[in-house]
């Protein structure tokens, strides 16, 4: 058995990565460490939770003693680190929790890995999952690549940039075998409905306003979450130690155009007349420090490791909307309690 620690495995992307690894690699023992914050939900992993090669541990990555014990008890040989505070709007309201989890939490894992692996670094890997937001913002042309200089603008992206720097510093200083990947915006099943796509699908279903920030012209490059999980699998097994990989969907959308695709898809699947829900679009005050455009050039990943997205966007969106419509209970569960306070406060 190869013992692999996946952090944040009860979250959106983490649950897809855990599912992929548990199902695909019966000779790996996957240990999922997750604090189960508002964004983490064990419902996301019901289908695999009883597998023999899977263990869940509820805990905080900032708790160094806990992390150190997990390395020892489970003889951890590799880490895929996804646990993070991940929502830009929340980072604007509460930057401290982002600095704590994203920077200090990452440091706690790095230190535990370094001390446990010591000088026996054979077959060890610390794989850090990061975001393209560390590169800042683009104008109307150009793309982020692995060589783009860091220029984060939100407390979220600043905390992720800092964590990336710590990971690289452990490689440069202690030879810790690391890889970093920086991915564009993900969409798909099990995403917490505070991010644009699941929030808007839910609001269209419930005839609630669709709060578009600013003029809706900001651009994001959207990747289907299962394609990100496949890229992580490939990079974990074939990536070069010390390298960075940029992952992106080659799929840019202005927010307002994306919202119209969502409206069209939800209305169609609910049997409503086309365009019924366009009246829900509501332009609101722009997000502070709102990055204009993100777009990734994933040539390195394609050329060196042979990765490419498997889905066309329209197909991915239709699958995603279908999933949210079929899983109303999941949506209702995660949007009860604290979510209602968050929503009121955020969109008052
Ligand atoms: P998410 O918010 O859905 O999930 C984060 C998970 O981490 C949750 O399960 C949460 O309980 C857990 N967590 C939070 N704080 C923790 C702590 N202190 N200790 C242990 N667990 C903790 O996030 P996501 O969208 O799945 O993102 C996962 C990773 O991928 C993050 O590192 C994020 O920066 C990165 N990323 C996300 C996107 C995206 O579009 N969502 C794109 C690129 C990179
Ligand atoms: P989001 O899903 O929060 O991802 P990120 O900010 O990390 O890219 O937002 C995607 C885009 O949608 C971003 O430009 C902000 C915009 N947006 C809105 O217009 N309204 C909303 O209610 C939300 C959550 C996002």
Ligand 2: centre distance to CA 265 (Å): 19
* Ligand 2 atom nearest residue 185's Cα: 8
User: Using H for helix, E for strand and C for coil, what is the string for the chain?
Assistant: CEEEEEECCCCHHHHHHHHHHHHHCCCEEEEEEECCCCCCCHHHHCCCCCCCCEEEEECCCCCHHHHHHHHHHHCCCEEEECCCCCCHHHHHHCHHHHHHHHHHHHHHHHHHHHHHHCCCCCCCEEEEEEEHHHHCCECCCCCECCCCCCCCCCHHHHHHHHHHHHHHHHHHHHCCCEEEEEECEEECCCCCCCCHHHHHHHHHHCCCCEEEECCCCCEEEEEEHHHHHHHHHHHHHHCCCCCEEEECCCCEEEHHHHHHHHHHHHHHHCCCCCCHHHHHEEEECCCCCCCCECCECCHHHHHHHCCCCCCCHHHHHHHHHHHHHHCHHHHHHHCCCHHHHHHHHHCC
Q: Residue 337: pLDDT above 90?
A: no
Q: Is the beta carbon of 131 within 6 A of some atom in ligand 2? A: no
Q: Is the beta carbon of 42 within 6 A of some atom in ligand 1? A: no
Ligand 2: centre distance to CA 218 (Å): 9
Quickly state the pLDDT bin for 348 (edges 50, 70, 90). confident
Q: Which ligand is nearest to the CA of 213?
A: 2
28 is catalytic: no
Ligand 2: centre distance to CA 202 (Å): 15
Q: Residue 112: pLDDT above 90?
A: yes
What the block records as the tokens of 281 is 């679009």
Quick one: which of 86, 84, 19 has its CA closest to 53?
A: 19
Active-site annotation holder among 34, 85, 132, 194:
132
Per-residue model confidence (pLDDT) at position 310: 93
Ligand 2 atom 3, closest CA: 195
Report the 10 Å Cβ neighbour count for 157.
26
CATH number of 2-187+222-250+292-313: 3.40.50.720
- 6, 83, 167, 258, best to mutate for ligand 1 pocket (most atoms within 8 Å of CB): 83
Whole-Å CA distances, 307 to 181, 230, 302: 13, 8, 5
Q: Is the beta carbon of 185 within 6 A of some atom in ligand 2? A: yes
Per-residue pLDDT, averaged over 78-90, amounts to: 98
Q: Is the beta carbon of 236 within 6 A of some atom in ligand 2? A: no
pLDDT digits (tens, 9 = 90+) for 293-307: 999 999 999 999 999
Per-residue model confidence (pLDDT) at position 290: 98
Instruction: Provide the CA 253 distance to its chain's centre, in angstroms.
Output: 18
210-230 in b/e form (b: 16+ CB < 10 A) is bbbbeebebbbbbbbbbbbbb
Name the residue ranges covered by the structural domains of the chain: 2-187+222-250+292-313
- 220, 256, 263, best to mutate for ligand 2 pocket (most atoms within 8 Å of CB): 220
Per-residue model confidence (pLDDT) at position 240: 98
Percent of the chain with pLDDT over 70: 100
100-137 in b/e form (b: 16+ CB < 10 A) is bbbbbbbbbbbbbbbebbeeeeeebbbbbbbbbbbbbb
221 is catalytic: no
Q: Residue 220: pLDDT above 90?
A: yes
Answer yes or no: pTM beyond 0.75. yes
Active-site annotation holder among 135, 156, 224, 324:
156
Ligand 1: centre distance to CA 161 (Å): 14
* Ligand 2 atom nearest residue 346's Cα: 22
8 A C-beta contact, residue 41 and residue 10: yes
* Ligand 2 atom nearest residue 133's Cα: 7
8 A C-beta contact, residue 254 and residue 218: yes
What the block records as the tokens of 27 is 């000779």
Q: Is the beta carbon of 185 within 6 A of some atom in ligand 1? A: yes
- 183, 213, 285, best to mutate for ligand 2 pocket (most atoms within 8 Å of CB): 213
133 is catalytic: yes
pLDDT, mean over the chain:
97
Q: Residue 119: pLDDT above 90?
A: no
Per-residue model confidence (pLDDT) at position 25: 98
Residues near 138 by beta carbon (within 8 Å), at least 6 away in sequence: 144, 292, 293, 294, 295
pLDDT digits (tens, 9 = 90+) for 141-190: 999 999 999 999 999 999 999 999 999 999 999 999 999 999 999 999 99
Alpha-carbon gap, residue 84 to 34, rounded angstroms: 10
């Amino acid at each position: 058995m190869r013992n692999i620690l996946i952090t944040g495995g009860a979250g959106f992307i983490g649950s897809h990565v855990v599912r992929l690894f548990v199902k695909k690699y019966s000779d790996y023992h996957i240990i999922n460490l997750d604090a189960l914050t508002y964004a983490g939900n064990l419902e996301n992993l019901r289908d695999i939770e009883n597998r023999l090669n899977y263990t869940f541990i509820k805990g905080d990555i900032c708790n160094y003693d806990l992390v150190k014990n997990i390395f020892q008890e489970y003889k951890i040989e590799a880490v895929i680190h996804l646990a993070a505070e991940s929502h830009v709007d929340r980072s604007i309201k509460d930057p401290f929790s982002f600095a704590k989890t994203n920077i200090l939490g990452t440091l706690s894992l790095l230190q535990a890995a370094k001390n446990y692996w010591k000088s026996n670094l054979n077959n060890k890997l610390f794989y850090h999952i990061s975001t393209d937001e560390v590169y800042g913002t683009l104008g109307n042309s150009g793309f982020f690549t692995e060589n783009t200089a860091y220029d984060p603008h939100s407390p979220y992206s600043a905390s992720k940039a800092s964590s990336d720097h710590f990971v690289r510093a452990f490689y440069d200083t202690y030879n810790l075998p690391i890889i970093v990947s920086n991915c564009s915006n993900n969409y798909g099943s099990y995403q917490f409905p505070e991010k644009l796509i699941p929030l808007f699908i839910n609001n269209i279903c419930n005839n609630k306003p669709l709060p578009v920030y600013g003029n809706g012209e900001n651009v994001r490059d959207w990747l289907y979450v299962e394609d990100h999980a496949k890229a992580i699998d490939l990079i974990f097994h074939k990536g070069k130690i010390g390298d960075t990989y940029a992952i992106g969907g080659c799929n840019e959308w202005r927010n307002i155009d994306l919202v119209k695709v969502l409206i069209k898809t939800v209305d169609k699947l609910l049997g409503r007349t086309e365009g019924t829900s366009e009246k829900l679009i509501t332009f609101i005050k722009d997000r502070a420090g709102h990055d204009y455009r993100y777009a990734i050039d994933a040539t390195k990943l394609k050329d060196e490791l042979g990765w490419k997205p498997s889905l066309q966007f329209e197909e991915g969106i239709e699958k995603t909307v279908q999933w949210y419509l079929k899983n109303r209970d999941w949506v209702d569960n995660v949007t009860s309690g604290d979510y209602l306070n968050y929503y009121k406060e955020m969109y008052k």
